Amino acid sequence: MSAKKFSISQIPMDDKKTFDMLGEMKTVGVFQFESAGMRDIMGKLKPDQFEDLIAINALYRPGPMDDIPKYIARKLGQEPITYFHPLLEPILEPTYGVMVYQEQVMRIAQDLAGYTLGAADLLRRAMGKKIKSEMDTQRNLFVQGCVENRVNNQPVNENVANQIFDAMAKFAGYGFNKSHSAPYALLAYQTAYLKANYTAEFFASLMTHDAHNQDKLAVYFEEMKNMGINLLPPCVNHSKTGFAVEEGAVRFGLSGIKNVGAGVCDAIVANQPFTSLTDFFTRINHTAFNKRQAEFLVQAGVFDIFEKNRHAIYVSLESLLKLGQKPSKQKLLFQKTQNFLQLENVKTWHLLDQLNREKESIGFYLSQHPLDPYRFFIEYHSLEKFKEDTHCFVGMIRQKTERISKNGNKFAYINIATLTNNFEILMFADQLNAFQKVCNVDEVVYLECFEKTGNQGDKKLIVKYMARLEDKLQAYPIRLTVDFEKDNNLILALRSCPQSGKQTIQLIGRHHGQTLNLEVRNIDLDLHTRTLLYSALVRNPS
């Protein structure tokens, strides 16, 4: 349906795209279904009808949660659907023989034991309170009613009646009613439908709502990448105050930049477009605009459209900010004469420094990932795959939290960012001591871990070896054949790289027409050369 005619109350309730998305566990931002536990259930259940969402909403709570595996197995045909008694089939058939709703408990009491609706509600309450004297009374009434069964004239065996009562009592203590679960499921489905069918608009709205929560923005960014939606960087000429859809992508909103107030964001948008840095700083004279806010705008990259060297803008801010303080006539003259302010002559920030400043401003790495310089190395050596019992990968240490065990031994939880994921690893005392010089925040490391199953069935990655990647690269000499014509840029870069007393490039073969066989070690190679090298390696392995 078109955006103009769109009505959330008229969306189809059997949208395959929506159910496929839920089954793929892409539930970040979806009401009720975005927790890790719910994502896992969605992946196993593969819901294909609205009734499944109602049921899982009711089951995902203490008590009934134990029956989720049974519900999934029966829905998928992996386990036969059975009933204590044939009279239960019409009551429990929609939920594959599993008690899911309080209404089902009440109807069982009515159909099998002859309870009135009011008496069935009293039974439900008694089960919820779990008062033994009341439960004993209700058990006697239920079993007697089942044995006599004056409603359907189908007596229930006393032993079976007791089994049914036990099952009801276990469930009803925490059971959810369907009339409550259905509206929750409806909101969840509507949210999922919007995400599946209006993905860019959904994320723009979601990120605008959580603009000041950088942790959530980082999670949304990862989900956007999973769903093929680009997040465009913040820009002084293109960004709005909130996040906005731009040609199928989402443009980062100025309100998502740390320490920049809403008033300043609105003032920037109101004065767009700007023609230069001097034009911006001359015309933005919002009373709340100060150096700290300008610094975070620079670090976020909003001025990249005018100047790529963020460091030069950063150290020139005092001069730039003075432009806004000039009297009106001087400002007008400054603009008319296009008297551009000369920025300080400084080198660009080191890549990691620039990316960390960007992350500080917007909450995550957007323009580039710190591991991008090593991308070809990682992909060529397949370092993010299991090799026998060892998981080898390259990652950057984002956070390190040390703890003391009950036995008095030190251990640490370490948050690692790889090219594709963020996750936690565990490091025990021996490894902490052995690799203490390497295990630092922002260090890019080569890791070897083994997987261990915890007491709760959860799997943990345990560190057994860690090294600085730059040191480890020395152990990976690269042999390749280069072509004088196709790889000219690489040859020029290799010739100019420093040797630092070590043999970086070694001829291991003869000239064969236009080609040369080389062995190259990664010592002293800059990002540009290393990228060219691995590009050539992928293209021309020796």
pLDDT at 366 over 70: yes
Between 452 and 84, name the one with better pLDDT: 84
Task: Report the pLDDT averaged over residues 498-516.
Answer: 52
Task: Report the pLDDT averaged over residues 45-51.
Answer: 94
The per-residue pLDDT for range 195-232, each reduced to its tens digit, is 999 999 999 999 999 999 998 998 999 899 989 999 99
- Quickly tell me which residue has 């009440």 as its tokens: 106
Beta bridge partners of 447: 393, 466
Residue pair 115/109 in contact (Cβ under 8 Å)? The answer is yes
Query: What amino acid occupies position 497?
Result: C
Q: What is the CATH number of the domain that holds 416?
A: 2.40.50.140
In a domain, 445, yes or no: yes
Q: Where is mean pLDDT largest: 28-42, 196-210, 395-409, 432-446?
A: 196-210
Between 390 and 541, name the one with better pLDDT: 390
Q: Are residues 66 and 135 in the same domain?
A: yes
pLDDT at 542 over 60: no
In a domain, 308, yes or no: yes
Pairing of strands 505-507, 444-453: unpaired
In a domain, 202, yes or no: no
Q: Are residues 465 and 493 in the same domain?
A: no
In a domain, 341, yes or no: yes
pLDDT at 79 over 60: yes
pLDDT, residue 151, reads 80
Residue pair 361/302 in contact (Cβ under 8 Å)? The answer is no
pLDDT at 152 over 60: yes
Q: Which of 88, 108, 87 is nearest to 96 (CA)?
A: 88
pLDDT, residue 503, reads 47
Residues 6 or more apart from 87 whose CB is under 8 A from it? 111, 112, 152, 154, 156
**Separation of alpha carbons 463 and 428, rounded Å:** 8
pLDDT, residue 255, reads 96
pLDDT, residue 333, reads 53
Q: Are residues 298 and 243 in the same domain?
A: yes
pLDDT, residue 215, reads 87
Burial (CB < 10 A; 0-12, 13-18, 19+), residue 26, is buried
Q: Are residues 445 and 306 in the same domain?
A: no
**Separation of alpha carbons 84 and 149, rounded Å:** 15
Between 25 and 149, name the one with better pLDDT: 25
How many alpha carbons lie under 13 Å from residue 14 in its C-beta half-sphere? Answer: 0
Average pLDDT, the chain: 85
The per-residue pLDDT for range 316-365, each reduced to its tens digit, is 999 999 887 766 545 555 555 455 578 889 999 988 889 989 999 999 89
Q: Where is mean pLDDT largest: 375-384, 423-432, 495-504?
A: 423-432
The per-residue pLDDT for range 416-433, each reduced to its tens digit, is 988 877 788 999 999 999
**Separation of alpha carbons 248 and 200, rounded Å:** 6
Q: Are residues 495 and 382 in the same domain?
A: no
Q: Which of 253, 263, 264 is nearest to 231 (CA)?
A: 253
pLDDT, residue 541, reads 54
Q: Among 457, 472, 487, which residue terminates a domain?
A: 472
**Separation of alpha carbons 238 and 246, rounded Å:** 9
Beta strands in 299-344 (DSSP E): none
Q: Are residues 131 and 155 in the same domain?
A: yes
Residues 6 or more apart from 268 whose CB is under 8 A from it? 236, 239, 254, 284
**Separation of alpha carbons 103 and 91, rounded Å:** 9
Q: Are residues 429 and 308 in the same domain?
A: no
The per-residue pLDDT for range 394-405, each reduced to its tens digit, is 899 988 999 998
Q: Are residues 109 and 233 in the same domain?
A: no
Burial (CB < 10 A; 0-12, 13-18, 19+), residue 153, is exposed
Residues 6 or more apart from 453 whose CB is under 8 A from it? 459, 460
In a domain, 113, yes or no: yes
Q: Which of 183-192, 310-319, 412-421 has the lowest mean pLDDT?
A: 412-421
The number of domains in the chain is 4
Q: Among 472, 488, 514, which residue terminates a domain?
A: 472
Per-residue pLDDT band at 502 (split at 50, 70, 90): very low
Q: Which of 437, 35, 404, 61 is nearest to 219 (CA)?
A: 35
3-class secondary structure, 398: strand
Task: Report the pLDDT averaged over residues 80-107.
Answer: 92
Sheet of 478-483, strand order: 478-483, 515-520, 505-507
pLDDT at 298 over 60: yes
**Separation of alpha carbons 304 and 289, rounded Å:** 19
pTM, two decimals, is 0.77
Q: Are residues 245 and 328 in the same domain?
A: yes
In a domain, 346, yes or no: yes
Q: Which of 352, 38, 364, 359 is nearest to 222 (CA)?
A: 364
pLDDT, residue 511, reads 52
In a domain, 237, yes or no: yes
Q: Are residues 24 and 167 in the same domain?
A: yes
- Quickly tell me which residue has 């594709």 as its tokens: 420
In a domain, 47, yes or no: yes
Q: Among 318, 351, 384, which residue terminates a domain?
A: 351
> Does residue 86 have a cis peptide bond before it, meaning omega lies within 30 degrees of 0?
no
The per-residue pLDDT for range 134-145, each reduced to its tens digit, is 888 889 999 999
Per the structure block, which two tokens stand in for 486? 């196709």
Q: Are residues 227 and 166 in the same domain?
A: no
Per the structure block, which two tokens stand in for 64? 């009934």
Q: Are residues 29 and 173 in the same domain?
A: yes
Q: How many CB atoms lie within 10 A of CB 142?
A: 24
Task: Report the pLDDT averaged over residues 312-319.
Answer: 94
Residue pair 396/417 in contact (Cβ under 8 Å)? The answer is yes
Q: What's the domain range around 305? A: 209-351
Between 377 and 391, name the one with better pLDDT: 391
